[in-house]
Amino acid sequence: MDIEYGSTNVFADLGLPDAVGRQTKTRLALEINTILKGRKLRQTSAASLLGIPQSKVSALVNYRLEGFSVERLMGFLTSLNQDIEIMIRPSRSEKEGHVSVHALR
């Protein structure tokens, strides 16, 4: 059996456009959804807190992220009392740099 190992980005492995952006948005949405679930917020309460319609919260909870920018998702996190730090450093490899999202809990 041949095994093909993937990269660290499933969207790139699937050949989807803007794989880096998709992965970044998914990681940010994961953190938002974890916080909302931890606070046991209903979608209507979350919508009020985030300043968006309930239908947008539904899209976010179901990871339908086409209508959200990375900046907007970061804004939701700050609305949820989270700090965001962006660090830029030289790449550790000779290849192109990458974007990663890490959550500290």
Burial 9-25 (b: 16+ CB within 10 A, else e): bebeeeeeeebbebbbb
Is residue 53 within 8 Å of 47, Cβ to Cβ? yes
Instruction: pLDDT band for 4, please (50, 70, 90 cuts).
Output: confident
Taking the CB of residue 36, how many other CB atoms lie within 10 A of it? 21
- Distances 8 to 5, 12, 19, 39, 72 between C-alpha atoms, Å: 10, 9, 11, 30, 24
Architecture of domain 42-79: Orthogonal Bundle (1.10)
Q: Look up the pTM and report it.
A: 0.89
pLDDT in tens, 32-44: 999 999 999 999 9
